[in-house]
Homo-oligomer: A and B are copies of this chain.
Amino acid sequence: MSENEKLTEEKIFEAATVVFEEEGLSGARMQTIADRAGINKALLHYYFRTKDHLFEAVFTKLAKKMFSKFNPIFEKELSLEEKIRFFFREHISFMQHNPKLPGFIINEINHNPQRIKKLLSNIDFKKLWSTILEHHAHELYKYNITEENLPQIMTTIASLSVFPFAARGILEIVFNNYGVNFDKYIEDRKTFAADFVIKAITK
């Protein structure tokens, strides 16, 4: 039945997502995924022939989910300053709901760059900062932004939102000594990071 098939395939996919995010490709076990999905292990191989197939399906979907959060932001009709605020608010919110995603993607890329490069070849990164220079050429005079330092600025923005989630484990250890609550810290970060960047790039 197609209704049931969708359900089973989805159950598998969701279980695999959780397990892969938590354990990574090499740490994940097919049996663990099967258990979590509440099905037989052989059924995994019926829907996704191999562990690699399953992994690629999961990774591709998650990567698209992650990186697609960048593009629309840079197409909206907002001033540069508004866009920066909008980005941090939206992107950090997204990660609050998917806290393991950054670490997962970073981890898998580090373990197998060539393979992941292929999986990511569909995603178009080219628009990313060309839009900045083009759509905001007329307001760049207010900011210390040039084609030269744009890579630095863009990666800085990414750092500020992504790093706290990727390195959450370490931050929580350090925070523990000072009674800082991670969730509160993240909530604050939406505005702090935006203010910080805007202050830094404004002439």
1/0 per residue, CB under 8 A from B, across A173-203: the answer is: 1110110100001001100110011011000
Q: How far is the CB of A81 from chain B (nearest CB, A)?
A: 14
Q: Report yes or no: A177 in contact with B125, Cβ–Cβ below 8 A.
A: yes
Q: Of B22, B164, B169, which one neighbours A116 at CB under 8 angstroms?
A: B169
Q: Report yes or no: A23 in contact with B26, Cβ–Cβ below 8 A.
A: yes
Question: Complex formed: what's the CA distance from A167 to B178 in Å?
Answer: 28
Given contacts A103-B110, A152-B189, A160-B156, A173 and B125 within 8 Å (CB-CB): yes
Question: Is A149 in the interface zone, CB < 8 Å from B?
Answer: yes
Q: How far is the CB of A170 from chain B (nearest CB, A)?
A: 6
Q: How far is the CB of A62 from chain B (nearest CB, A)?
A: 13
Question: Is A80 in the interface zone, CB < 8 Å from B?
Answer: no
Q: Report yes or no: B169 in contact with A106, Cβ–Cβ below 8 A.
A: yes
Number of this chain's copies in the complex: 2
Q: Name which of A23, A117, A178, A199 has the most chain B CB atoms within 10 A of its CB.
A: A178
CB-contacts of A91-117 with B (<8 A): 100, 103-107, 109-111, 113, 116-117
Q: Report yes or no: A152 in contact with B192, Cβ–Cβ below 8 A.
A: yes
Question: Is A47 in the interface zone, CB < 8 Å from B?
Answer: no
For A180, what are the chain B residues with a Cβ–Cβ distance below 8 Å? 151
What's the dominant secondary structure at chain A's contact region?
A: helix
Question: Is A78 in the interface zone, CB < 8 Å from B?
Answer: no
Question: Is A43 in the interface zone, CB < 8 Å from B?
Answer: no
Question: Complex formed: what's the CA distance from A111 to B100 in Å?
Answer: 10
CB-contacts of A15-67 with B (<8 A): 22-27
For A110, what are the chain B residues with a Cβ–Cβ distance below 8 Å? 100, 103-104, 107, 166, 168-169
For A24, what are the chain B residues with a Cβ–Cβ distance below 8 Å? 24, 26-27, 107, 111
- Interface residues, chain A, with chain B CB atoms under 8 Å away: 22-27, 100, 103-107, 109-111, 113, 116-117, 120, 125-126, 128-129, 149, 151-152, 155-156, 158-160, 162-164, 166-175, 177-178, 180, 185, 188-189, 192-193, 196-197, 199-200
